[in-house]
Amino acid sequence: MNRKILIGAAILAIVGGALWWQLGGREEVAVTETADSTAAVDVDTSSITEMTMGPEDAKVTITEYASFTCPHCATFHQTTFQNLKRDYIDTGKVHFIYRDVYFDRVGLWASMLARCGGSERFFGISGMLYEQQKDWLNSDDPVEISGNLRRIGKVAGLEEEQINACLEDAGKAETLLAWFEQNAEADDISSTPTLMINGQQYGNMAYADLQEIIEEKLAE
Protein backbone atom coordinates (compact mmCIF):
# COMPACT_ATOMS: atom_id res chain seq x y z
CA MET A 1 0.00 0.00 0.00
CA ASN A 2 1.42 3.36 -1.04
CA ARG A 3 0.22 6.26 1.06
CA LYS A 4 1.89 9.38 2.38
CA ILE A 5 3.24 8.62 5.84
CA LEU A 6 1.66 10.74 8.55
CA ILE A 7 4.47 12.85 10.03
CA GLY A 8 4.68 16.00 12.14
CA ALA A 9 1.53 18.07 11.84
CA ALA A 10 -0.67 14.99 11.62
CA ILE A 11 0.38 13.69 15.02
CA LEU A 12 -2.12 15.55 17.20
CA ALA A 13 -4.90 14.94 14.71
CA ILE A 14 -4.41 11.18 14.73
CA VAL A 15 -3.95 11.05 18.51
CA GLY A 16 -7.14 13.02 18.93
CA GLY A 17 -8.95 10.59 16.69
CA ALA A 18 -7.67 7.72 18.76
CA LEU A 19 -8.86 9.20 22.03
CA TRP A 20 -12.25 10.61 21.03
CA TRP A 21 -13.91 7.62 19.41
CA GLN A 22 -17.28 7.86 21.12
CA LEU A 23 -16.66 5.58 24.06
CA GLY A 24 -19.92 5.52 25.94
CA GLY A 25 -21.77 7.15 23.05
CA ARG A 26 -19.99 10.52 23.16
CA GLU A 27 -19.86 12.60 20.01
CA GLU A 28 -16.53 12.54 18.21
CA VAL A 29 -14.63 15.82 18.53
CA ALA A 30 -12.90 17.47 15.60
CA VAL A 31 -9.21 18.16 16.25
CA THR A 32 -8.06 21.64 15.36
CA GLU A 33 -4.60 21.67 16.96
CA THR A 34 -1.43 21.23 14.93
CA ALA A 35 2.07 20.12 15.83
CA ASP A 36 5.34 21.22 14.36
CA SER A 37 7.61 18.74 12.57
CA THR A 38 9.75 18.20 15.67
CA ALA A 39 6.88 17.20 17.97
CA ALA A 40 7.71 13.50 18.01
CA VAL A 41 11.39 14.09 18.64
CA ASP A 42 10.59 15.43 22.11
CA VAL A 43 8.63 12.35 23.17
CA ASP A 44 10.45 9.67 25.16
CA THR A 45 9.78 6.42 23.29
CA SER A 46 11.88 4.15 25.52
CA SER A 47 8.72 2.62 27.02
CA ILE A 48 7.68 1.07 23.69
CA THR A 49 8.36 -2.65 23.42
CA GLU A 50 9.69 -4.03 20.15
CA MET A 51 7.51 -6.95 19.07
CA THR A 52 9.87 -9.69 17.93
CA MET A 53 10.15 -13.37 17.14
CA GLY A 54 13.22 -15.60 16.81
CA PRO A 55 16.65 -15.34 18.44
CA GLU A 56 18.27 -11.91 18.62
CA ASP A 57 21.62 -13.37 17.56
CA ALA A 58 20.27 -14.88 14.33
CA LYS A 59 22.41 -14.19 11.26
CA VAL A 60 19.50 -12.53 9.47
CA THR A 61 17.27 -9.84 10.94
CA ILE A 62 14.06 -8.91 9.14
CA THR A 63 12.11 -5.85 10.19
CA GLU A 64 8.65 -5.56 8.71
CA TYR A 65 6.91 -2.19 8.52
CA ALA A 66 3.19 -2.79 8.20
CA SER A 67 -0.22 -1.27 8.87
CA PHE A 68 -3.27 -3.11 10.17
CA THR A 69 -5.39 -1.22 7.62
CA CYS A 70 -3.21 -2.21 4.65
CA PRO A 71 -4.74 -5.01 2.53
CA HIS A 72 -1.35 -5.97 1.09
CA CYS A 73 -0.07 -6.41 4.64
CA ALA A 74 -3.01 -8.67 5.43
CA THR A 75 -2.18 -10.80 2.40
CA PHE A 76 1.50 -10.87 3.37
CA HIS A 77 0.70 -12.08 6.89
CA GLN A 78 -1.70 -14.76 5.73
CA THR A 79 0.69 -16.15 3.10
CA THR A 80 4.36 -15.15 3.00
CA PHE A 81 4.74 -14.56 6.73
CA GLN A 82 3.42 -18.02 7.59
CA ASN A 83 6.11 -19.60 5.42
CA LEU A 84 8.77 -17.27 6.78
CA LYS A 85 7.85 -18.16 10.34
CA ARG A 86 7.85 -21.90 9.66
CA ASP A 87 11.09 -22.05 7.67
CA TYR A 88 13.26 -19.39 9.24
CA ILE A 89 11.89 -17.80 12.43
CA ASP A 90 10.88 -20.98 14.23
CA THR A 91 14.12 -22.66 13.17
CA GLY A 92 16.23 -19.88 14.66
CA LYS A 93 17.66 -18.59 11.38
CA VAL A 94 15.85 -15.24 11.39
CA HIS A 95 15.19 -12.61 14.03
CA PHE A 96 11.89 -10.94 13.07
CA ILE A 97 10.82 -7.46 14.19
CA TYR A 98 7.34 -6.06 13.57
CA ARG A 99 6.90 -2.28 13.45
CA ASP A 100 3.69 -0.36 12.96
CA VAL A 101 3.02 2.23 10.32
CA TYR A 102 0.09 4.58 10.95
CA PHE A 103 -1.66 5.79 7.82
CA ASP A 104 -4.79 6.66 9.75
CA ARG A 105 -6.32 6.69 13.23
CA VAL A 106 -7.92 3.29 12.74
CA GLY A 107 -4.51 1.71 12.27
CA LEU A 108 -3.43 3.28 15.54
CA TRP A 109 -6.51 1.91 17.33
CA ALA A 110 -5.74 -1.58 16.03
CA SER A 111 -2.12 -1.30 17.13
CA MET A 112 -3.14 -0.21 20.63
CA LEU A 113 -5.48 -3.19 20.84
CA ALA A 114 -2.82 -5.63 19.61
CA ARG A 115 -0.39 -4.34 22.23
CA CYS A 116 -2.99 -4.52 24.98
CA GLY A 117 -2.11 -8.10 25.88
CA GLY A 118 1.63 -7.46 25.96
CA SER A 119 4.30 -9.17 23.89
CA GLU A 120 2.95 -12.63 24.77
CA ARG A 121 -0.35 -11.99 22.96
CA PHE A 122 0.72 -9.45 20.36
CA PHE A 123 1.28 -11.76 17.41
CA GLY A 124 -1.85 -13.77 18.19
CA ILE A 125 -4.03 -10.65 18.21
CA SER A 126 -2.19 -9.27 15.17
CA GLY A 127 -2.99 -12.46 13.29
CA MET A 128 -6.67 -12.05 14.13
CA LEU A 129 -6.63 -8.42 12.98
CA TYR A 130 -5.10 -9.35 9.64
CA GLU A 131 -7.27 -12.43 9.12
CA GLN A 132 -10.45 -10.48 9.88
CA GLN A 133 -9.38 -7.19 8.34
CA LYS A 134 -12.18 -7.05 5.76
CA ASP A 135 -14.77 -7.65 8.47
CA TRP A 136 -13.70 -5.17 11.17
CA LEU A 137 -12.85 -2.49 8.57
CA ASN A 138 -16.11 -2.95 6.67
CA SER A 139 -17.60 0.39 7.73
CA ASP A 140 -17.09 4.13 7.44
CA ASP A 141 -18.45 4.60 10.95
CA PRO A 142 -15.65 4.94 13.55
CA VAL A 143 -18.03 3.82 16.30
CA GLU A 144 -18.77 0.58 14.48
CA ILE A 145 -15.08 -0.01 13.78
CA SER A 146 -14.19 0.57 17.43
CA GLY A 147 -16.89 -1.91 18.41
CA ASN A 148 -15.50 -4.46 15.97
CA LEU A 149 -12.02 -4.06 17.45
CA ARG A 150 -13.38 -4.48 20.96
CA ARG A 151 -15.05 -7.74 19.97
CA ILE A 152 -11.76 -9.04 18.59
CA GLY A 153 -10.07 -8.09 21.84
CA LYS A 154 -12.64 -9.99 23.88
CA VAL A 155 -12.34 -13.07 21.67
CA ALA A 156 -8.58 -12.87 22.21
CA GLY A 157 -9.18 -13.12 25.95
CA LEU A 158 -8.85 -9.49 26.99
CA GLU A 159 -11.19 -8.12 29.64
CA GLU A 160 -13.41 -5.14 28.82
CA GLU A 161 -11.76 -2.94 31.45
CA GLN A 162 -8.35 -3.89 30.08
CA ILE A 163 -9.41 -2.97 26.54
CA ASN A 164 -10.83 0.36 27.73
CA ALA A 165 -7.63 1.21 29.58
CA CYS A 166 -5.50 0.46 26.53
CA LEU A 167 -7.61 2.35 24.03
CA GLU A 168 -8.05 5.41 26.24
CA ASP A 169 -4.34 5.76 27.01
CA ALA A 170 -3.53 9.16 25.48
CA GLY A 171 0.10 9.04 26.52
CA LYS A 172 0.59 5.64 24.89
CA ALA A 173 -1.03 6.85 21.67
CA GLU A 174 1.28 9.85 21.47
CA THR A 175 4.34 7.75 22.30
CA LEU A 176 3.46 5.14 19.66
CA LEU A 177 3.11 7.86 17.05
CA ALA A 178 6.46 9.40 17.98
CA TRP A 179 8.08 5.95 17.89
CA PHE A 180 6.57 5.30 14.48
CA GLU A 181 7.81 8.63 13.15
CA GLN A 182 11.33 8.02 14.40
CA ASN A 183 11.46 4.57 12.82
CA ALA A 184 9.89 5.70 9.54
CA GLU A 185 12.37 8.54 9.16
CA ALA A 186 15.36 6.40 10.13
CA ASP A 187 14.55 3.68 7.59
CA ASP A 188 12.96 5.94 4.94
CA ILE A 189 9.60 4.13 5.00
CA SER A 190 6.97 5.35 2.53
CA SER A 191 4.80 2.29 1.87
CA THR A 192 3.70 -1.02 3.35
CA PRO A 193 4.64 -3.73 3.65
CA THR A 194 8.30 -2.77 3.62
CA LEU A 195 11.01 -5.19 4.72
CA MET A 196 14.41 -4.26 6.09
CA ILE A 197 16.68 -7.30 5.74
CA ASN A 198 19.97 -6.85 7.56
CA GLY A 199 19.49 -3.11 7.13
CA GLN A 200 18.70 -3.19 3.40
CA GLN A 201 15.25 -2.11 2.24
CA TYR A 202 12.97 -4.29 0.12
CA GLY A 203 9.38 -3.93 -1.01
CA ASN A 204 6.58 -6.47 -0.94
CA MET A 205 7.49 -9.71 -2.69
CA ALA A 206 6.53 -13.33 -3.21
CA TYR A 207 7.83 -15.85 -0.70
CA ALA A 208 10.14 -17.47 -3.25
CA ASP A 209 11.91 -14.15 -3.81
CA LEU A 210 12.15 -13.49 -0.07
CA GLN A 211 13.53 -16.97 0.49
CA GLU A 212 16.23 -16.39 -2.12
CA ILE A 213 17.35 -13.18 -0.39
CA ILE A 214 17.40 -14.86 3.02
CA GLU A 215 19.45 -17.78 1.73
CA GLU A 216 21.95 -15.35 0.21
CA LYS A 217 22.26 -13.52 3.54
CA LEU A 218 22.69 -16.79 5.43
CA ALA A 219 25.47 -17.84 3.06
CA GLU A 220 27.48 -14.64 3.46
Count of structural domains within the chain: 1
Q: How confident is the model at residue 43 (pLDDT cuts 50, 70, 90)?
A: confident
Q: Which amino acid is located at 136 in the chain? A: W
Per the structure, the complete domain to which residue 71 belongs is given by 10-219
What pLDDT score was predicted for residue 104? 83
Decide if 30 is inside a domain: yes
What SS3 state is found at 115?
A: helix
Decide if 2 is inside a domain: no
Decide if 5 is inside a domain: no
Instruction: Give pLDDT tens digits for 164-179.
Output: 999 888 889 889 989 9
Q: Does a cis peptide bond (omega within 30 degrees of 0) precede residue 55?
A: no
Contact 51, 119 (CB under 8 A): yes
b/e per residue 77-99 (b: at least 16 CB within 10 A): beebbeebbeebbeeebbbbbbb
Report how far residue 169's alpha carbon sits from residue 163's, in angstroms, rounded to the nearest whole number.
Answer: 10
The helix (run of H) or strand (run of E) holding residue 177 is: helix 170-187
Report how far residue 127's alpha carbon sits from residue 85's, in angstroms, rounded to the nearest whole number.
Answer: 13
Q: What is the mean pLDDT of residues 112-127?
A: 96
Decide if 1 is inside a domain: no
Specify the CATH number for the domain of residue 48.
3.40.30.10
Report how far residue 177's alpha carbon sits from residue 139's, in angstroms, rounded to the nearest whole number.
Answer: 24
What pLDDT score was predicted for residue 123? 97
Decide if 3 is inside a domain: no
Instruction: Give pLDDT tens digits for 60-81.
Output: 999 999 999 999 999 999 999 9
Decide if 180 is inside a domain: yes
Instruction: Give pLDDT tens digits for 182-203.
Output: 999 999 998 999 999 999 999 9
Instruction: Give pLDDT tens digits for 77-118.
Output: 999 999 999 999 999 999 999 999 988 888 999 999 999 999
Q: 29 or 92: whose pLDDT is higher? A: 92
Q: Does a cis peptide bond (omega within 30 degrees of 0) precede residue 193?
A: yes
What pLDDT score was predicted for residue 1? 62
